[in-house]
Amino acid sequence: MKIDLHTHTDRSDGTDSPTELMENAKAAGLDVIAITDHDSTEGWKEADEAAKRVGITLVHGIEISTKLGGKSVHLLGYEFDPGYQPLAIELRKIIDGRNSRLPATLERLQGLGIDITADDVRARSANAAAMGRPHVADALIELGVVKDRGEAFERYLTPGKPAYVDRYAADLPTVIGLVKAAGGKTVLAHPWSRGSHRVLTRDRIRTLAEQGLDGLEADHNDHGAEDRAVLRQIARELGLVWTGSSDYHGTGKVDFPLGSNTTEPEQYRRLFG
Ligand code: AMP
Ligand code: ZN
Ligand code: FE
Ligand code: FE
């Protein structure tokens, strides 16, 4: 049984529609796929219909932008009630924060002599719930300023670079509480990617487990072999589930194909069984 619990569609910064994601997941030989767009559940309904049609098990999920100790941390939430208002309100705040920083981002790029407008970004994010940095990156590619998203982040969009603008992110323990209150499960996405070792220490993960965290995404393309083994060990010690996922973004991210990391059936059953 092949299980992939972290993927994106064009409802956030992936490039497949939810229907295409289900078709591609089936073609990749997956039995179970989670749709986990950034801060949005907009793709769930279309994915439901397509999953039924192609014959694949769909897990309803989300990847929520949070902060812990001033650092960005991504939290995967699964099978929660999207109508639970305290969580829905928080998600709205995150989406609004992403949209409202766009003018400042564009002003900085224009200040660097790049002729980019909000319409350019809108054209790259037609189906998305919010305009994020990856869509700005896509507009920069279209304008011939950079060759891919990686270069756009490296040169302009990552913290410390000239067009980076901070945005609202929810407090991690608060969000874990909200997803749990909405009847869902919570897993830390790529806990040790991009230097988050420093904030997500073993002690901090223990505290989060006490606050209701269910699991750690150990197998992720951003983690080396040693980090994966240590994360699995921490999960064992704390009684947490460990997962593995692709973090597929369609053509938006190379080297993250569907099923490139998978979750063991036993861990899947611990989480949802
Ligand atoms: P935003 O929602 O605007 O803050 O953008 C965050 C998204 O940008 C993340 O979900 C990643 O998929 C993407 N991202 C972050 N850093 C990079 C990078 N260095 N290269 C490509 N994509 C990135
Ligand atoms: Zn993304
Ligand atoms: Fe992420
Ligand atoms: Fe992701």
* CATH number of the domain where residue 238 is located: 3.20.20.140
CATH number at residue 145: 1.10.150.650
Could you tell which of 67, 149, 190 is best to mutate to test the pocket of ligand 1, judged by most ligand atoms within 8 Å of the CB?
149
For residue 162, how many C-alpha atoms fall within 13 Å in the half-sphere facing its CB?
11
- Per-residue pLDDT tens digits for 62-114: 999 999 988 999 999 999 999 999 999 999 999 999 999 999 999 999 999 99
**Beta-strand runs (E) in 69-179:** 71-78, 170-171
Does 268 map to a domain? yes
- Start-to-end C-alpha separation, the chain: 15
Q: 113 C-alpha to center of ligand 4: Å? A: 31
Could you tell me the pLDDT band of residue 182, with boundaries at 50, 70 and 90? very high
Q: 38 C-alpha to center of ligand 2: Å? A: 6
- Per-residue pLDDT tens digits for 198-222: 789 999 999 999 999 999 999 999 9
Please check whether residue 236 is in contact with residue 2, taking contact to mean a CB–CB distance below 8 angstroms.
Answer: no
In total, how many domains does the chain have?
2
Does 244 map to a domain? yes
Q: Are residue 86 and residue 194 in the same domain, yes or no?
A: yes
**C-beta contacts of 162-167 below 8 A and 24+ residues apart:** 162/108, 162/112, 163/105, 163/108, 163/109, 163/112, 163/136, 164/105, 165/101, 165/104, 165/105, 165/108, 166/101, 167/97, 167/98, 167/100, 167/101
Return all residues near 103 (Cβ < 8 A) that are at least 6 apart: 118
CA distance 139 to 152: 10
CA distance 66 to 76: 10
Q: 35 C-alpha to center of ligand 1: Å? A: 17
Q: Are residue 178 and residue 249 in the same domain, yes or no?
A: yes
Within 6 A (CB) of ligand 1 lie 13, 38, 98, 132-134, 149-150, 153, 158
Domain stops at, among 157, 175, 203: 157
And the tokens for 241? 């589930």
Q: Which domain holds residue 118?
A: 102-157
The pLDDT value given to residue 84: 98
Q: Are residue 186 and residue 260 in the same domain, yes or no?
A: yes
Q: Are residue 180 and residue 86 in the same domain, yes or no?
A: yes
Does 162 map to a domain? no
